[in-house]
């Protein structure tokens, strides 16, 4: 097998939560489809996922849209049952869904209720969906789980970056993202001998037309001088999903333009 063949995902089924979303999810789903996988995207909006899947099919890929509420264990089980009934297997699980309000409030605005709501997707949902599909991966003797963390999985956030804007980083965010990395390691250690690999991608900040004061500070601090764009996670996710990373597990792959090195 040539090296480029090891990146191919033909004959494999991949599920991407929030895979029709405008930020990380859709680029991840596109990458897996371009590598040859049958791709399923799922989030609360069935219509959005079906529309996105149709767009991928029009480009010549095998794609399907389903529905899930990542904070609802029963909804996750329905998604699991639907995937297994339709495809009979799952080879790649990418957890990129979130379940929080954008900029859910800083330290002063945070309450226990808001903390719980902000953390629900990454805590309840991440565990529940991994628990639902790991058993299938064990039965088939192979599977790759890729969890989408953050640079704030590995470093603290700098509150001075947000000065002069309304942007706030909720304290629950680094808490759950750091926990995601060690949960990934737990799965890697527990199920490695049964053929299941688990890794985490820790992206830098994604450009989404943020206020100029923030953008200016971010770009100045980042060694590559820009925020992450739609293409920047594609290579990383295909690498971790495919046989190109067959001996990589429990790893947190930072894709941040060098943000965390200084």
CATH number for the domain that contains residue 228? 3.40.50.720
pLDDT of 111 reads: 85
Distance, CA of 82 to chain centre: 21
197 φ/ψ angles, rounded to the nearest 5 degrees: -105, 150
pLDDT of 103 reads: 46
pLDDT at 116 over 90: no
pLDDT of 122 reads: 79
Q: Which long-range contacts (C-beta less than 8 Å, at least 24 apart) are formed by 81-86?
A: 83/13, 83/15, 83/40, 83/133, 84/136
At 61-83, the pLDDT tens digits run: 999 999 999 989 999 999 999 99
Number of domains in the chain: 1
pLDDT of 100 reads: 58
Question: What average pLDDT does this structure show over 196-207?
Answer: 97
User: Smallest Cα–Cα separation from 94: which of 7, 9, 29?
Assistant: 29
Q: 46-70: string of b/e by CB count within 10 Å (b at 16+)?
A: eebbbebbeebeeeebebbbbbbbb
Containing domain of residue 193, as a range? 4-261
pLDDT of 2 reads: 93
Q: Can you give the pTM of this predicted structure?
A: 0.96
Instruction: Identify which has the larger pLDDT, 111 or 132.
Output: 132
pLDDT of 97 reads: 85
Q: Could you tell me the pLDDT band of residue 102, with boundaries at 50, 70 and 90?
A: very low
Percent of the chain clearing pLDDT 70 (strictly above): 98
Please state, in angstroms and rounded to a whole number, the distance separating the CA atoms of residues 59 and 37: 14
- Which residues are designated catalytic? 173
pLDDT at 105 over 80: no
pLDDT of 104 reads: 60
At 119-155, the pLDDT tens digits run: 777 788 999 999 999 999 999 999 999 999 999 999 9
Q: Is residue 114 within 8 Å of 168, Cβ to Cβ?
A: no
With a CB cutoff of 8 Å and minimum separation 6, the contacts of 254 are 151, 154, 202, 204, 260
Which of 20-29, 119-128, 184-193 is modeled with the greatest confidence? 184-193
pLDDT of 24 reads: 87
């Amino acid at each position: 097998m040539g090296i480029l063949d090891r990146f191919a995902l033909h004959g494999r089924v991949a599920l991407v939560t929030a895979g029709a979303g405008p930020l990380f999810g859709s680029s991840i789903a596109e990458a897996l489809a371009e590598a040859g996988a049958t791709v399923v995207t799922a989030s609360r909006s069935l219509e959005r996922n079906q529309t996105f899947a149709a767009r991928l099919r029009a480009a010549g890929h095998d794609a399907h849209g389903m529905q899930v509420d990542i904070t609802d264990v029963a909804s996750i089980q329905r998604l699991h049952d639907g995937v297994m009934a339709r495809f009979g297997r799952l080879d790649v699980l990418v957890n990129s869904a979130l379940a929080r309000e954008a900029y859910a409030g800083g330290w002063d605005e945070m309450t226990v209720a808001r903390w719980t709501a902000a953390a629900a997707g990454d805590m309840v949902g991440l565990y529940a969906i991994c628990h639902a599909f790991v058993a299938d991966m064990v039965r088939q003797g192979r599977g790759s789980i890729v969890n989408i963390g953050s640079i704030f999985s590995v470093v603290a956030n700098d509150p001075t970056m947000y000065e002069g804007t309304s942007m706030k980083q909720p304290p629950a965010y680094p808490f759950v993202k750091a926990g995601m990395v060690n949960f990934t390691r737990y799965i890697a250690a527990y199920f490695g001998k049964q053929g299941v690999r688990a890794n985490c991608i820790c992206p830098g900040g994604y450009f989404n037309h943020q206020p100029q004061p923030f953008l200016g500070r971010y770009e100045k601090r980042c060694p590559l001088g820009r925020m992450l764009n739609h293409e920047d996670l594609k290579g990383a996710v295909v690498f971790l999903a495919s046989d190109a990373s067959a001996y990589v597990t429990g790893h947190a792959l930072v894709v941040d333009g060098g943000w965390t090195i200084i």
